[in-house]
Structure 1
Amino acid sequence: MNRTFSLIVALLLAAWIGLGPQAALARGEPAVARGPAEQVLAEAFQRQQGDILVEGRGVVEKLLKDDRNGHKHQRFVLRLASGQTVLVAHNIDLAPRIDSLAAGDEIAFLGEYEWNPKGGVIHWTHHDPAGRHPAGWLRHRGRIYQ
């Protein structure tokens, strides 16, 4: 009896873990990444996947001009420890701009990854005023920008 119960619990747990990301995507929510950010982002890039909530860090490789079309975004290229680069698009209508940001600075992030042929984009690095999307953030020199 105990062996059967343990088997049922193990199967239910495996199904729950296996269906988690798909169920989240079906509800329109980003899937939550499991594992080191560099590995998760490399796999997402190879598979051309997006809508993945991921936490990681990298070094600013290049600052880009702010995107002022629609919602304003501070933009920069971040190089991960794996060598992969991603564009970070930080909504400065909803979160403070990082005025002191410079090439070579380390940035930690929690945001949503979207695939593109150049390496991908990290966005949703801010709170959601409507409360429908998980809040993201950027951390620079110990300060959280959300």
Structure 2
Amino acid sequence: MKKNLFIVFTFICLITNFAFASNTEISKAYKKHQSDVQVQGVGKVVKLLRDDLKGSKHQRFILKLPSKLTILIAHNIDLSKRINDIKVGDSVEFYGEYEWNKKGGVVHWTHHDPSRRHIGGWLKHNGRTYQ
């Protein structure tokens, strides 16, 4: 019993540290107006936006991070599958490139790069990875 409680406690600490570390990295980039920063984190969907269909098609939604900062996720659906069952309140993990803006920033390159010029990113939603 004690061993199980220890494992659960350790797992919770690891998740909390992960969320804090990733939020710290994004918060630093936001405060310093930095762009082209690889970030990883998790947030809750607070708004679903219409797809951007100009040029490369992008699925767009806004995540609220545990730090209360909001970021736009711009996920290229020409290069990766779209998340069809996403809804407000869902949790989404992400790994991609952060670009600063006044509203909190944008995370893009959440997919593979066929040209291999960018680090491949991903989104995770409901146990499924999109890259």
| TM-score normalised over the length of structure 2 | 0.84
Aligned length: 112
Q: Determine the structure 1 residue equivalent to 2:69.
A: 84
Distance in 2, Cα, partners of 1:108 & 1:71: 22
SS at structure 2 position matched to 1:37: helix
CA distance in 1, matches of 2:118, 2:28: 23
Give the CA deviation at 1:133.
Answer: 1.1
Kindly provide the CA deviation profile for residues 20-50 of structure 1, in whole angstroms up to 9, marking residues without a partner as x: xxxxxxxxxxxxxxx8111111111111001
Instruction: Give the Cα–Cα distance (whole angstroms) in 2 for the partners of residues 119 and 48 of structure 1.
Output: 10
Check if 1:46 corresponds to 2:31.
Answer: yes
Q: Which amino acid aligns with 2:80?
A: A
Q: Give the corresponding residue for 2:4.
A: none
Q: Deviations over 1:39-67 (max 9, x none)?
A: 11111111100100011100000000000
Q: TM-score, normalized by length of structure 1?
A: 0.75
CA shift, 1:131, in A, is 1.4
Give percent identity, aligned residues only: 54
Q: Aligned partners of 1:50 and 1:86: how far apart in 2?
A: 13
1:136 is aligned to 121
Bigger relative contact order, structure 1 or 2, given CA contacts below 8 A and separation 6+? 2
Pairwise CA RMSD of aligned residues? 0.9
How far apart are residue 137 of structure 1 and its match? 0.2
Runs of 5+ in structure 2 lacking a partner? Answer: 1-19
SS, match of residue 86 in structure 2? coil
- Name the residue aligned to 2:47: 62
Residue by residue, what CA displacement relative to the aligned partner does 1:70-97 show, whole Å, maximum 9, x if unpaired?
A: 0000000000001000000000000000
* Alignment of structure 1 residues 1-146 onto 2, 5 Å: 36-146=21-131
Spell out structure 1 runs of 4+ moving beyond 4 A.
none
